[in-house]
Structure 1
Amino acid sequence: MGCCDVKGLMPIDLALTKMQAELTNVCQSITLPLSQALGAVLAQDILSPLNVPPFNNSAMDGYALSHADLNICSCEQPIVLKEVGCALAGSPYIGDIPRGCCVRIMTGAVLPTGVDTVVMQEQVSVSEEQLTFTRSPKFGDNVRLVGEDVMFEQRVLKQGHRLTPRDIPLLASLGLETLQVFRKLKVAVLSSGDELKSLGEPLNTGELYDSNRYSMIALLSRLNVEVIDLGIIKDDKSALKEAFIKADQQADVVISSGGVSVGEADFIKAVLAELGTISFWKLAIKPGKPFAFGHLPNSVFFGLPGNPVSALVTLYQLAVPAMEKLSGMAVKSAMRFTAIMQDDIRKKAGRTDFQRGLYFVDKAEQIVVQSTGKQGSGIFSSMCQSNCFIVLEQDRGNVMAGERVTIEPYTHLLD
């Protein structure tokens, strides 16, 4: 069955492409101190203002010498040199180094003029003023060259890069006190449904605790966005309309869960059509078919399904890449690779299926994956027990144990 046979359902790849084409960065550039920039998105390329390291220096505690002074041909005889001074980190050795002499040097110290090689102290025997080298070094041993890490005016990070803990020390080594980054994306979230109760309230028959809003806020916190929590909105068209107007005035993005299906009390689609536009509504994915994407006057709207697994899967797979584009972040493809399926799993052709799995390396050093069991859209324990999605292609049917499947390990947003 091809995608054209799934009446009214848009393939997920087409939905992702359509959203990326419709969206642009909405976040202005601001200045932040480096100490506050973790997680922010760069608003410009970072060009190095200096060489790193800015001078030739020693990578070891030892002795700096000129390799040309060594009688390399007399390998059977020990190499004996005389120490004439000491170079410390922050306190360079100043002076000449006569032929046949060397300088004691500490890690990070500037390499004195006229020397090009450092022998680590463990390979040197000291007797009075004479130093015997137990190993003949190679030219340039244990020397860090100027610009070896980063060259002057080298582009070290690109605009759109989200700063990680690995980036901060690199930028500090360049002496960058402040950075131009994009402001945080403002995201308003709400849950819709008469059956939903807030935590701490007693449950009556037919009622459920609102877990989707906590799911959304938890994931969004790792995107480094500003979250506006609008709480639970009852299945009332007027209340929903008022909530969407309020959200649109405050946020760049509005995300709801529930109310986008075809039930009599599902008003969100109607409200969205009144206030803005709907780009698409139903997708050929499982879980999460009733996913809505559209535009309000001042913001972008994502309508997630009400079932908890469906809500999280569509938020992660569809809304997150769109929000990355809106925040100025360079959108990257998900990391996927193949694994050997350990179980038989059921699937009907017609929708791309994101089943929950647990992958690992077996005794034969092969990547294998097993199902977490029941895959219903209301069984959230399947998410907690998993570390990846088993991504089953739209046209694919049942999978037998031993077949190869595509897996997508969870990123930091879910792990």
Structure 2
Amino acid sequence: MTRLADDCFAADPTPLTVEAALERIRDRLRPMTGTETVALDAALDRVLAEDVVSPLDVPPHDNAAVDGYAVRSVDLPSAGGELPLAGRVAAGHPLSAEPPPGTAVRIFTGAPVPDGFDTVVMQEDCIAGGDRVRLPAGARAGANVRRQGEDVTRGAVTLAAGRRLGPGDLGLAASIGRTALTVRARLRVALASTGDEVTEPGEELRPGAVFDANRHTVKALLARLGCTVTDLGILEDDAGTIARSLSEAADDHDVIMTSGGVSAGEEDHVRAAVAAHGRIDAWRLSVKPGRPVALGVVGGRAFIGLPGNPVAAVVAFVTLARPVLLALSGADVSAPPRYPVTAGFDHAKKPGRREFLRVRLEPGQGSDRAPVAVKAGPDGSGILSALAAADGLIDLAEGSPGLAVGDMAAYLPFNEVMR
């Protein structure tokens, strides 16, 4: 098992931008997991561990893109005219010999284009009769032919190491004959909530207590990333209990993640517990919501301490924890794309701070019905209902003065960061 250096998350006292944090993660972290070979059908969402090089061209031969008639472009009559038919070719059944010059061949979609032929004229544009076919005027040379290797070239890297494999990737791998892929082993994450006020759903809710939403939200986010999660439950606010639990978790996990207990308060014991078995660093991200966040190392394993407020925990996961987990999984770490949308609300913002606003998209009123972002609910970092109602986040950069109705804003859809 790979062990992390205690100082891999070392921080400085100056606030970090989200981009600077991402750069640090890319520069400092390497995969913690080994590799395994899995069947193609079991590789969905796994992280590819090695480049996949194609042993063949795809398609392996020129083939017809439509049903019609294959011809040599030099035989195309410029004003239209007839050619004799010299055969019929269907998908999977190539002709055994090259037809003579000055002839046409009946051909069907996917069928190999006969040697020497380079054009397919759509059947709707032709008139067949007996052993001849009338071709239209102006047929374009080279039309309706899928060229050998136009999709994948033999010897090319078809899929690059570090890619999280989607359905299209599996289809592409199958198209070059692969039945299995070498992927990174799943990252093993131990997850816990902290706080004497936190109660497991289904138990009696004591005065002053709240049900634990964070652990179940984060567990789902980890599952979407393909992690294997061990649920440590709720750890009581006791320094010894927390230290013992984290130390034991480090024996057989790659990452330890907690929610709550990482601020500087007297009752927040997680920081001391991590420091007792390794090192903890507070990354000062100027983000709202999303603080406080702590990163560290326990027994050579990564530690990620998320905030206790539910929405802050999700934003911290999206902006910081997710890139860390991707890097440790061997996946590419890049900023997810933002998309321009029109703001349907006003929002005043503090200068120098990154803000993420929960929004949903609604059709606009213009002729193009371009989407408009509207508030999904109140902005409070404890209001989960607004998070559940949202489609994504408006990302307001540190230098942004805020929003006014009609402004263009950067939109981060949840399907980019919650999968």
Q: TM-score, normalised by structure 1?
A: 0.90
Partner of 2:4: none
Task: Kindly state the Cα deviation for residue 300 of structure 1 after the two structures are TM-superposed.
Answer: 0.5
5+ residue gaps, structure 2: 1-12
5+ residue gaps, structure 1: 1-6
Partner of 1:79: 81
Say whether the 8 Å CA contact 1:123–1:135 is kept in structure 2.
Answer: no
1:200-215 paired onto structure 2 within 5 Å: 200-215=202-217
1: CA distance, partners of 2:187 / 2:120: 51
Q: Does 1:327 align with 2:329?
A: yes
Task: Kindly state the Cα deviation for residue 9 of structure 1 after the two structures are TM-superposed.
Answer: 4.9
Partner of 1:357: 359
Partner of 1:386: 390
Partner of 1:28: 34
Q: What secondary structure does 1:118 align onto?
A: strand
Say whether the 8 Å CA contact 1:345–1:371 is kept in structure 2.
Answer: no
Q: Which piece of structure 1 moves more, 329-338 or 302-311? A: 329-338
Say whether the 8 Å CA contact 1:162–1:329 is kept in structure 2.
Answer: yes
Say whether the 8 Å CA contact 1:84–1:101 is kept in structure 2.
Answer: yes
Say whether the 8 Å CA contact 2:396–2:402 is kept in structure 1.
Answer: no
2: CA distance, partners of 1:170 / 1:398: 44
Q: Does 1:63 align with 2:65?
A: no
Q: What secondary structure does 2:415 align onto?
A: coil
Q: Which piece of structure 1 moves more, 92-101 or 213-222? A: 92-101
Q: Which piece of structure 1 moves more, 131-140 or 154-163? A: 131-140
Task: Kindly state the Cα deviation for residue 189 of structure 1 after the two structures are TM-superposed.
Answer: 0.7
Partner of 1:411: 415
For 2:215, the aligned partner's letter is R
1: CA distance, partners of 2:403 / 2:86: 74
Q: Does 1:345 align with 2:351?
A: no
Task: Kindly state the Cα deviation for residue 96 of structure 1 after the two structures are TM-superposed.
Answer: 4.3
1: CA distance, partners of 2:321 / 2:261: 17
Partner of 2:116: 114
Q: Which piece of structure 1 moves more, 155-164 or 98-107? A: 98-107
Task: Kindly state the Cα deviation for residue 11 of structure 1 after the two structures are TM-superposed.
Answer: 4.3
Partner of 1:43: 49
Partner of 2:271: 269
Say whether the 8 Å CA contact 2:377–2:385 is kept in structure 1.
Answer: no
Partner of 2:374: 370
Q: TM-score, normalised by structure 2?
A: 0.90
1: CA distance, partners of 2:312 / 2:414: 16
Q: What secondary structure does 1:278 align onto?
A: strand
Q: What secondary structure does 2:167 align onto?
A: coil
Q: What secondary structure does 2:251 align onto?
A: helix
Q: Does 1:401 align with 2:401?
A: no
1: CA distance, partners of 2:257 / 2:132: 75
Q: Output the aligned Cα RMSD.
A: 2.2
Q: What secondary structure does 1:42 align onto?
A: coil
Q: What secondary structure does 2:70 align onto?
A: strand
Same amino acid, percent of matched pairs: 38
Partner of 1:89: 91
Q: Which piece of structure 1 moves more, 290-299 or 398-407? A: 398-407
Q: Which of 313, 316, 323 is the aligned partner of 1:314?
A: 316
Q: What secondary structure does 2:182 align onto?
A: strand
Alignment size in residue pairs: 405
CA separation of 1:353/1:380 partners in 2, compared to 1, >3 Å: closer, same or farther? Answer: same
Q: Which piece of structure 1 moves more, 62-71 or 183-192? A: 62-71
2: CA distance, partners of 1:145 / 1:17: 41
Task: Kindly state the Cα deviation for residue 367 of structure 1 after the two structures are TM-superposed.
Answer: 5.5
Partner of 1:141: 143
Q: What secondary structure does 2:74 align onto?
A: helix
2: CA distance, partners of 1:327 / 1:234: 30
Task: Kindly state the Cα deviation for residue 134 of structure 1 after the two structures are TM-superposed.
Answer: 3.6
Task: Kindly state the Cα deviation for residue 99 of structure 1 after the two structures are TM-superposed.
Answer: 3.5
Q: What secondary structure does 2:244 align onto?
A: helix
1: CA distance, partners of 2:412 / 2:107: 50
Say whether the 8 Å CA contact 2:336–2:417 is kept in structure 1.
Answer: no
Task: Kindly state the Cα deviation for residue 272 of structure 1 after the two structures are TM-superposed.
Answer: 0.9
CA separation of 1:95/1:284 partners in 2, compared to 1, >3 Å: closer, same or farther? Answer: closer
Q: What secondary structure does 1:411 align onto?
A: helix
CA separation of 1:291/1:92 partners in 2, compared to 1, >3 Å: closer, same or farther? Answer: same
Task: Kindly state the Cα deviation for residue 359 of structure 1 after the two structures are TM-superposed.
Answer: 3.9
